[in-house]
Structure 1
Amino acid sequence: MAGGSDQKLDLEVIKEMGKGLGNIKKAFDGLEDLGGKYEDDFGNGDLADKFGDFADNWKLSRKRLTEEIDVLAQIAKAAGQAYEDIDHQLAQALRDAQDPKKGN
């Protein structure tokens, strides 16, 4: 194909990436909050406060990561579907072009 792209896409890899990212999001969603659960175990108020700060930061960071992972999962799924649709349309166009009944 003259002037065509030499890039190859593995549709299964793209689709699996979407599923994998979706699974990561589910795992992040299922993590429990750390805040307030272990403060008595530290035995030191300053250490417990530091851990509380960490837990609060982790909760916010986890929320942002989860949202970004979800967006990436949706993009990968949509890309896989779009490339698959294009592939089917191109294959049909080639079949139609070679079919003498179509008038070509």
Structure 2
Amino acid sequence: MSDLKADTQRIRECSRALQRIYHSFTERANPAEDFSATELGNHHIVDAFDAFASNWKIHRKDLAAQIKTLGTITWEAAKSYDAIDADLAAALRRQDAKSKKGTGHA
């Protein structure tokens, strides 16, 4: 029998991080949209970011949906691990109580 260990707090942190990434993906199409050519260095950099943003818009929606799904999966996994752990602990406590009363099975 193998030992299964799940750090549900870490899994939830992962889910929250994915949620933040999802919001970043859906809120901004162009990472340089608030910057001028002066701030970025020159107009070639601005043009490169504009080209990137155009291509990014095409793939961003699918990628954002996949990130959102992964965030949901990780959140639900943490909930499931916690529920399984609680159910197992309750079953073991019931078995211990039965054993103490002499009604347990070997």
1:29 aligned to 2:26?
A: yes
Identity of aligned residues (%): 34
CA RMSD between the two structures: 2.7
- Encode CA deviations 1:37-91: one digit per residue, 9 max, x unaligned: 7xxx749xxx95x765532211122212211110100110011001110000000
Instruction: Please report the TM-score for the alignment, with normalisation by the length of structure 1.
Output: 0.71
Amino acid at match of 1:78: E
Structure 1's unaligned 5+ residue stretches are none
C-alpha spacing 1:87/1:51, structure 2 compared with 1 (3 Å): closer
Structure-1 residue corresponding to 2:65 = 67
Q: CA deviation at 1:28?
A: 1.4
Q: State the distance in 2 between where 1:102 and 1:72 align.
A: 47
2:92 to 91, 94, 101: 94
Aligned length: 92
Query: Is 2:6 the counterpart of 1:9?
Result: yes
Q: With the length of structure 2 as denominator, give the TM-score of the two structures.
A: 0.70
Write the distance in 1 (CA, Å) between the matches of 2:81 and 2:71.
Answer: 15
The offset of 1:103, in angstroms, is 3.8
The 3-state SS of whatever aligns with 1:12 is helix
- Following superposition, the deviation at residue 94 of structure 1 comes to 0.4
Unpaired runs of at least 5, structure 2: 38-42
Secondary structure at the counterpart of residue 4 of structure 2: coil
Look up the equivalent residue of 2:77 and give its one-letter code. Answer: A
* SS of the residue 1:7 aligns to: coil
Instruction: Give the aligned residue type for 2:92.
Output: L
